[in-house]
Amino acid sequence: MKKLRIGIFGLRRGLDYLDAVQMNGFEVTSVCDADETRLAEAKKRLPDAAVYTDPEAFLNHPTDAVFLANFFHEHAPWAVRFLEKGVHVLSECASNATMAQGVRLVRAAEKSGAVYMLAENYPFMLFNREMKRVYEGGTLGKALYAEGEYNHPFDIYNEDNVRVLRTYTSHWRNWLPRTYYITHSLAPLMYATGAFPVRVSALPVFAPDPADAPVSNRCGDKAAVITTLNSDGSVFKVTGCAAFGAHGNSYRLCCEKGQIENLRGMGDKVMLRYNGWQVPAGLEETNFYLPSPDDMDPAVLEKFGHGGGDYFVMKYFYEAVANGAPVPFNVYFATAMASVAILAHRSILAGGQPFPVPDLRLEADRARYENDELTPFPAGPHDIPAVPCCSDPSYAPSAQQLEKYRGIVGEEMFNK
């Protein structure tokens, strides 16, 4: 396997990928982060890598590829700049945080000779790979309806969580609309079926944090319930990033002859059911089982969990870069999901009104959005974006919440 050089930008999520990077033909030769603690950890684990705090300097370090794990809403501008330099880009989600960024990203990826891939890992969870395998086998017939739920509550009274994940007042997690973190619920359904959303509408679940919570959360929603009408006539219902009680991800794909879903609270097990009159030979009407992957060494599976999501992301990225293989989540796939995320939020703010999802392969659709820079993320500490991140535009954290948040993160981070 030919070794390729990769740089990593953003060393919280970025360092999670080290094993997957190193097992899949890449050598980390440069890293970048402004956070001294994260840099110190990187230096320990990667003593030979060049270390940067300034991404402008990092951009000029010679490399074959870059992994963008910087702030959620700042991937696209860096992806464009790396693509312009001919560097292969693997980007964390979301691919873009504004519609205009999505247009620029698609144009840059088309112009560049380099590969662009979204680092979406949930479609590679064991049960999601099984959902795709069964669907492609054809026994279920055509997809009609599917559900995707990414449910990730966290203990807001846990001070370490607050300090690490919501580091300072203008940090993206404090301004994240519930629809924006959509890839983990939507991508597995698109990947399994090949369907692309063409229309979206959404409703919020408004349930703000308790008054004594130590938070600076500008979004009082706990979930968004998003529906998409798709290119194949099917309908998806997905949550974006939800925070219902009890963590978990669940997916359900309903087709003409039957359906497959992973079972909530039962690990990687799936349930596959058929109409009584359309049961394929060798199967029962109702089948419960733990999928056994034949595409992965069990030791690797054990190491990565969830069916090896991060491992597969890096494996496919390497194969695309080194051997020209097609990527599972190209720039059109990635930006389609970002469009759903952004337009679902607009739908919420418009009382559930449906919005067409542009096809960014088409110049006419690009032209419609190329100047649409609307964002719910603040440009700096005292900026209040024109687009509210919450379904209730008047919502803001209470004075009591802010005082407690200040006590945890400290004065400097509170004012950042």
Ligand X SMILES: NC(=O)c1ccc[n+]([C@@H]2O[C@H](COP(=O)([O-])OP(=O)(O)OC[C@H]3O[C@@H](n4cnc5c(N)ncnc54)[C@H](O)[C@@H]3O)[C@@H](O)[C@H]2O)c1
| In the complex, minimum distance from the CB of residue 38 to ligand X, in angstroms, rounded to a whole number | 5
Task: Tell me if 397 contacts ligand X by CB under 6 A.
Answer: no
11-15: long-range pairs with CB below 8 Å, 24+: 11/35, 11/38, 11/39, 11/41, 11/42, 11/69, 12/38, 12/69, 12/164, 13/69, 13/92, 14/67, 14/69, 15/41, 15/42, 15/45
Query: Closest distance between ligand X and the C-beta of residue 71, in Å?
Result: 5
Under the binding rule (CB under 6 A), the answer on residue 10 touching ligand X is yes
Structure tokens at 272: 């596959």
Number of residues that bind ligand X (CB under 6 A): 18
Pairing of β 143-151 and β 248-255: antiparallel
Smaller CB separation from ligand X, 181 or 236? 181
Q: Which of 137, 356, 94 is nearest to 260 (CA)?
A: 137
CA gap 46, 55 in Å, rounded:
18
What three-state secondary structure class fits 200? strand
Q: How far is the CB of 69 from ligand X (least distance, A)?
A: 5
Stretch that binds ligand X, among 65-73, 208-216, 319-327, 395-403 (CB under 6 A): 65-73
Least CB distance to ligand X at residue 119 (A): 6
Q: How far is the CB of 211 from ligand X (least distance, A)?
A: 26
Residue 251: CA count within 13 A, CB half-sphere = 28
Q: By C-beta, is 83 or 272 nearer to ligand X? A: 83
Q: How far apart are the first and last CA of the chain?
A: 45
How are beta strands 355-356 and 286-289 bridged, if at all?
unpaired
406 in contact with ligand X (CB under 6 A)? no
Distance from C-alpha of 26 to C-alpha of 221, rounded to nearest angstrom: 40
Residue span binding ligand X (CB under 6 A) among the ranges 66-74, 100-108, 144-152, 382-390? 66-74
Interface of this chain with ligand X, residues 204 to 233, rule: CB under 6 A: none
Instruction: Find the part of the chain contacting ligand X (CB under 6 A) among 67-75, 129-137, 240-248, 402-410.
Output: 67-75
- CB 333 within 8 Å of CB 118: yes
User: With CB under 6 A as the contact rule, which of the stretches 5-13, 19-27, 271-279, 356-364 interacts with ligand X?
Assistant: 5-13
Q: How far is the CB of 46 from ligand X (least distance, A)?
A: 15
Does 121 interact with ligand X (rule: CB under 6 A)? yes
Which residue's CB is nearer to ligand X, number 93 or number 190? Answer: 93
**Binding to ligand X by residue 35, rule CB under 6 A?**
yes
Q: Measured from the CB atom, is 33 or 64 closer to ligand X?
A: 33
Q: Does 11 bind ligand X (CB under 6 A)?
A: yes
- CB closer to ligand X out of 27 and 41: 41
Burial class (CB in 10 A: 0-12, 13-18, 19+), 38: middle
Binding to ligand X (CB under 6 A) within 317-376 occurs at none
Nearest to 374 by CA among 11, 16, 101: 101
Query: In whole angstroms, how close is the CB of 380 to ligand X at the nearest point?
Result: 13
Answer for which of 49, 69, 162, 338 binds ligand X (CB under 6 A) is 69
Residues 79-98 that bind ligand X (CB under 6 A): 92-93
Q: How far is the CB of 402 from ligand X (least distance, A)?
A: 20
Among the listed residues 267, 232, 273, the one whose alpha carbon sits nearest the alpha carbon of residue 252: 273
Among residue numbers 127 through 186, which ones bind ligand X (CB under 6 A)? none
- Decide whether 52 or 274 has the Cβ nearer to ligand X: 52
- Based on CB atoms, which residue is closest to ligand X, 35 or 319? 35
Q: What residue spans of 28-158 are helical by DSSP H?
A: 36-45, 55-59, 75-84, 99-111, 126-137
**Residue 241 sits in the site that holds ligand X (CB under 6 A):** no
CB distance 272 to 287 below 8 Å: yes
Smaller CB separation from ligand X, 154 or 288: 154
Point out which residues pair with 248 in neighbouring strands. Answer: 151
Q: Give the whole-angstrom CA distance, residue 93 versus residue 191.
A: 15
Distance between CA atoms of 241 and 244, rounded to whole angstroms? 10
Select 74 or 221, whichever has its Cβ closest to ligand X.
74
Binding to ligand X by residue 72, rule CB under 6 A? Answer: yes
Is position 191 an interface residue for ligand X (rule: CB under 6 A)? no
For residue 408, list its beta bridge partners: none
- 38/361 with CB nearer ligand X: 38
In the complex, the residues that contact ligand X under the rule CB under 6 A are 10-13, 32-35, 38, 55, 69-72, 74, 92-93, 121
